[in-house]
Chains A and B, each alone.
Chain A
């Protein structure tokens, strides 16, 4: 029987959502609205020579670069000034925004957008990592096409390789992934009392404000962002709403009417950002007794045409590329490569899944090569408290992976099945071990985000939490309230927490990086503790909590050395598969998981995150193939980009292990991304066992399995 804060309660948003009462942005009528339709480039690289816009009926406008208010920047401020709001010359990717058509009728807008004629001078483009590295068609960025180029060294890899008895080489690759949040992108922008008000389905209201203000040459306070109920995000609503909001906001300053942009699914799948494809090349040095003594890693990601958050994604990838293993001597190079594809951007895990998939598959390949049990090899190298990380930081917490393994091996029947299923028998077992650092990478929380949370007791005695993190399905509306209620000793349903409005709430940072509970939830707890002392004083009372770095954590952003994360969540995922000998179709027979996230704030919400994250990762690992053809995504509807249905995977077994973290609310650490990190690798290894072939890339489709069986 679970007690205390972990005991599950009904979610505060569940009834209205299940009864169809909750209104998402497309459900809210706006008086006098103009709909917006983005006009986009139809080539991947080159120069626009001419834009021929058809004669527009009254009430319709075409807004482009020339309409940016005086002094406004034609650059969207993301991490830095980045994508142009509108291009009228340089084309860097297919689908880049040229302008926005606005008007009162959606059908007419589509016809008008189709009638815009753009003439280009086309140029050779690079689409793959290899083409980007070779600067095909000339460099797109700098003189080497690298948005980031990092090196890490741990121990003495040079000496390790000079002592090596043998070196095992490996290349692991992952593809694009589309978020497929069920609610497509949508925003409404309007003028109110001289300010620009943006209603957005989004994860980061303050990011949108920061992005839009410079384009309009307005102060940050002149831009108000109100989060609309958000039907899923998964990273896809971290930066991409900036792109739509910037274009629509420029239009509003021109037409002085509300402008609404709601994507349909095809537009969303074709033109929104995706997960970074990756290629990780390993060379691992072994001594004469087949012990791993050193590792050389060359990690590359396809960043696309603009920088976006690719350097930070790359950082998380390389910091995760030794996963849960303490490899003694490591040298690593990581590169974010510019190509003429839609800029890759945040997606649940933010580089960590690519790093962990690479590490897990490579370790399993080493085990195959040296004839050792892969789990025994992995367990012999597992980190523990005090271990040194790839950035020469320290694991500060007790690591419970060994006891977690005992437990999950037992419930999954691992040892019995592993001995019963001969390699290549058609039945296979895979086990992935993983970790995920909570919060922003390195010193980001302390130096960039500087989160603040405010809490007020109003005159009428009602307590309200003020912060900028959003409910997007992960349960924050309930868990933040539970944290405050636990401190204040009241009913969580009596606490107010509105969807954030940048005009009302302090900036507690974006809803990303598994930071909401661990970082912001802690501030909710601290603010509630302060307010508790004043709760019975008359009149309105207020408290505020600001982030401070946990003691003992050190980080140097220049050299990428130190504690990349203050604490980690830990997980193991075991998968059992059966591969059809003729069709190579895979049936997943069992999925068992165990996670250590410090402390669950609500067990039902945590298990919901586990199941959802694991199934999303299994889609990534098995079904979700997204290919580029001449710079365009070949799959662009839900009929050809396949995500899991109820029938694709069995129920997920989910167990939790407690290990309270002293600087998280009631001991809680990050969760949302951890649960995505391991299942794809586990699936790939289960198939590898079933067919006794080396699986080196995901998604592991039946076509790929057939290729492996035919060609080895």
Chain B
């Protein structure tokens, strides 16, 4: 068992856990934060995306022992921020959501992308979301949602 301290959605937390446990399981089981989903368990689909020090990561591939001192943001935290609200609202307005299972991960990937490219081109959006799989939408409406969020971020 290791004692691991990190910041979770702005609050410092300490857990006692084997360091090899997946961050995804720690979030879902220890903190009841279920916005991050398990779609594949091998870092291919992005449904478990969270932000680690501002960059999007697949939480199923992150051993919790590696996040000592890190800042982790999940959708539970992001949705309280202005940026999170803007992305979620843009997704609702753009018809970006169908079954919804990939959507939390898409929102996290969008947040990471917009932090880096506040006004991305369509190609940059597609590149930025390429680690997140969706089987329902064919992606177009998600790409439009991210572009709408970026424009609203600038007050249109």
Contacts and interface: CB of A to CB of B under 8 A. Distances in A.
Bound pair (A, B)? yes
Interface of A: 8, 10-11, 13-24, 26-27, 29, 179-184, 229-232, 234, 264-266, 472-475, 604-605, 607-608, 610-616, 637-639, 643-647, 649, 651-652
B95 A646 contact: no
A232 B42 contact: no
Given A10-B93, A20-B79, A647-B126, A638 B133 contact: yes
Contacts of A612: 98, 135-138
Interface residues of B, number: 53
B53 interface: no
22 contacts: A13-B100, A14-B91, A14-B96, A17-B104, A18-B87, A19-B75, A20-B76, A20-B79, A182-B45, A183-B37, A232-B98, A608-B95, A608-B138, A611-B137, A611-B141, A614-B138, A615-B139, A638-B42, A645-B133, A645-B139, A646-B125, A646-B142
A181 B140 contact: no
B116 to A, nearest CB: 16
Contact of B129 (A184, A266, A646): A646
Contacts of B130: 645-647
B40 A638 contact: yes
A182 B143 contact: no
Interface in B80-128: 87-88, 91-93, 95-104, 107, 122, 125-127
B134 interface: yes
Chain A CB within 10 Å, residue with most, of B40, B87, B100, B131: B100
Nearest to A11: B97
Interface in B135-156: 135-143
Contact of B34 (A20, A614, A615, A647): A20
B41 interface: yes
Contacts of A181: 99, 101, 135
A180 B135 contact: yes
B2 interface: no
Contacts of A29: 32
Contacts of B35: 19-21
B92 A231 contact: no
Nearest to A613: B138
A133 to B, nearest CB: 33
B39 interface: yes
A10 B93 CA distance: 6
B100 A473 contact: yes
B138 A265 contact: no
A279 B133 CA distance: 30
A193 B99 CA distance: 32
Given A181-B99, A647-B127, 4 more contacts: A10-B93, A11-B92, A182-B39, A182-B135
Contact of A17 (B44, B45, B100, B142): B100
Nearest to B104: A20
B100 A639 contact: no
Contacts of A229: 100
A16 B88 CA distance: 9
B97 A14 contact: yes
Chain B CB within 10 Å, residue with most, of A10, A21, A607, A646: A646
A18 B97 contact: yes
Given A18-B92, A182-B135, A639 B98 contact: no
A180 B47 CA distance: 13
B102 A182 contact: yes
B34 A23 contact: yes
Nearest to A269: B40
Contacts of A232: 98-99, 101, 135-136
Contacts of A639: 42, 44
Nearest to A654: B140
A422 to B, nearest CB: 30
A607 B38 contact: no
A475 B87 CA distance: 20
Contact of A605 (B32, B40, B95, B140): B95
Nearest to B35: A20
A309 to B, nearest CB: 21
Contacts of A19: 35, 75, 79, 88
Contacts of A16: 100
Contacts of A607: 95, 141
A651 to B, nearest CB: 5
A265 B129 CA distance: 21
B75 A20 contact: yes
B41 A265 contact: yes
Contacts of B104: 17-18, 20
Nearest to B123: A647
Contact of B40 (A17, A265, A613): A265
A652 B99 contact: no
B44 A637 contact: yes
B83 to A, nearest CB: 13
Given A17-B100, A18-B88, A608 B135 contact: no
Contact of B38 (A26, A608, A645, A651): A26
A15 B132 CA distance: 19
Chain A CB within 10 Å, residue with most, of B93, B125, B130, B138: B138
A195 B104 CA distance: 35
Contacts of A20: 34-36, 74-76, 79, 103-104, 107
A10 B92 contact: yes
Contacts of A27: 28, 34, 37
B149 to A, nearest CB: 11
Interface in B5-64: 28, 32, 34-42, 44-45, 47
B88 A13 contact: no
A29 B28 CA distance: 10
A646 B143 contact: yes
B97 A183 contact: no
A182 B99 contact: yes
The 8 closest A-B pairs by CB, nearest first: A20-B35, A17-B100, A473-B99, A231-B101, A615-B138, A611-B138, A473-B98, A27-B34
Contacts of A231: 37, 99-101
A183 B126 contact: no
Contacts of A475: 98
Contacts of A183: 37, 39, 99, 101
Contact of A604 (B47, B95, B126, B135): B95
Nearest to A183: B101
A13 B41 CA distance: 26
Given A8-B95, A17-B103, A608 B137 contact: yes
Contacts of B139: 611, 615, 644-646
A431 B35 CA distance: 41
Contacts of B133: 180, 182, 638, 643, 645
A182 B44 contact: no
A230 B138 contact: no
A18 B127 CA distance: 20
B148 to A, nearest CB: 13
B117 to A, nearest CB: 15
A59 B135 CA distance: 38
A11 B95 contact: yes
B17 to A, nearest CB: 14
B101 A24 contact: yes
A266 B95 CA distance: 30
A24 B129 contact: no
A375 to B, nearest CB: 25
Contacts of B91: 14, 18
